Chain A
Amino acid sequence: MSRQQVRGNPGMRRGLGSRTSNPTTMMEDPPSGDWLTLRSDQFLKWVDDAVYNIAEQTGIRDVVNRVTRPIFNWALRYSPWPLHFGIMCCALEMGAAGGPDHDSERMGVVYRSSPRQCDILIVNGPVCEKLRPKLKTLYEQMADPKWVIAMGECAIGGGPYWDSYSVVAGADTFIPVDVYIPGCPVRPEALMHGFLTLQKKIREQEPGYFLRR
């Protein structure tokens, strides 16, 4: 494992500059006086870096990855929690997909009201200029890994409002979109198919890392 791959906070290194770093050490110990000067976020960052560097250098991380990838991937695949956020008529179809007829919960799709607890942002309607910064904030508030579903014509490319003075022409102009579901409005079956497509995408592309960086 080369030295360049060892990650760390450059600011922290500068803070510990009085001490000469030894390339063979796996873990950088802060000098005893610096323990007291660390803020909590700096301390967490230091612990995070230390554990990551040890796991990376000893090769434990690669071994654990082989075990965790299928498990983490399976867990992510069958618990994609979308944000309970409705813009326009596709939101009703989203409600229908969550209802007893189609019951998206059997695939682990549980709607949550806080972006902090969500993996999927479903953009289900035309995004107007005033909503765009708010939607972007919601997307940024979601924890990684996260995916975006553009549901319906409006979210894909503006739909019938493509030449409007206030509607953004597509959600992918400001956030990365993973799955596009056409329809006006999208039928609940199509939304279920979208969730299954996303599951397939997660199965193929989600690495499921132990100690994600």
Chain B
Amino acid sequence: METGKFIQQLGKHKGTSNSSALRSNVGCISVTREASPAFFTALKEDYAFDHCSLISAVDNQSGFELVYHFSIIGESGQMLEVHVDLPRDTPTIDSITHLWGGADWHEREAYDLMGIYFIGHPDLKRVLLPDGFAGHPLRKDYVYEIHEEEW
């Protein structure tokens, strides 16, 4: 399927906006948090995106933004970038671990460093930092007080 047509088709889903083609086989689309579970299920089952390459979390000060990268492993090599905006006071979203098993550690990392809570994740605990760590260090408002005092 051609990327332009494909993106147009995706843009008809509920809750989507800003659908565009970034490059020849890379698409980009924004989804609201409420519509994201149905959208991700459709991506997996109707569009055969079989690989969740990456979940990155962005701190935009006013709120958080999650960027999912999905790809089709095969001839078409189609890739898709999905942006989801989250409010700052409740950074929660439904987990996609039941759809793509590889999203497990990506979500744990986003929880560990950015403090985004994935509802329905089987084992949401820290993956890079030690268990007793306080706070989420990649947030813009995080202050590491110990070193501030030392230096």
Distance in angstroms from B127 CB to nearest chain A CB is 10
B137 sits at the interface (CB 8 A): yes
Interface of A is mostly: loop
Contact among B128, B130, B147 for A163, CB-based, below 8 A: B147
Residue-wise interface mask of A (100-132) relative to B, using a CB-CB cutoff of 8 A (1 in contact, 0 not): 000000000000000000000000000001100
Distance in angstroms from A142 CB to nearest chain B CB is 24
Contact among B130, B147, B151 for A129, CB-based, below 8 A: B130
B111-151: which have CB < 8 Å to A?
128-130, 133, 137, 142, 144, 147, 150-151
Distance in angstroms from B106 CB to nearest chain A CB is 19
Interface size class of A (residues with CB under 8 A): under 10
CB-based contact B151/A166 at 8 Å: no
Q: What residue in chain B is nearest A130 (Cβ atoms)?
A: B130
Return chain B residues, CB-CB under 8 Å to A165.
Answer: 129, 137, 142, 144
Return chain A residues, CB-CB under 8 Å to B130.
Answer: 129-130
Given A163-B151, A165-B137, A166-B137, A129-B129 contact (CB < 8 Å): yes
State in angstroms the CA–CA spacing of A166 and B126 once bound together. Answer: 13
Q: What residue in chain A is nearest B137 (Cβ atoms)?
A: A165
Return chain A residues, CB-CB under 8 Å to B150.
Answer: 169
State in angstroms the CA–CA spacing of A131 and B133 once bound together. Answer: 14
CB-based contact B147/A166 at 8 Å: no
Residue-wise interface mask of B (86-107) relative to A, using a CB-CB cutoff of 8 A (1 in contact, 0 not): 0000000000000000000000
State in angstroms the CA–CA spacing of A163 and B137 once bound together. Answer: 12
Distance in angstroms from A15 CB to nearest chain B CB is 42
Q: What residue in chain B is nearest A129 (Cβ atoms)?
A: B130
Residue-wise interface mask of B (2-20) relative to A, using a CB-CB cutoff of 8 A (1 in contact, 0 not): 0000000000000000000
Distance in angstroms from A130 CB to nearest chain B CB is 5
State in angstroms the CA–CA spacing of A162 and B146 once bound together. Answer: 12
State in angstroms the CA–CA spacing of A163 and B130 once bound together. Answer: 17
Distance in angstroms from B138 CB to nearest chain A CB is 9
State in angstroms the CA–CA spacing of A165 and B138 once bound together. Answer: 10
* Interfacial residues, chain B to chain A (CB-CB below 8 A): 128-130, 133, 137, 142, 144, 147, 150-151
22 example contacts (A-B, Cβ-Cβ < 8 A) are as follows A129-B129, A129-B130, A129-B133, A130-B128, A130-B129, A130-B130, A162-B147, A162-B151, A163-B144, A163-B147, A163-B151, A164-B144, A165-B129, A165-B137, A165-B142, A165-B144, A166-B128, A166-B129, A166-B133, A166-B137, A169-B147, A169-B150
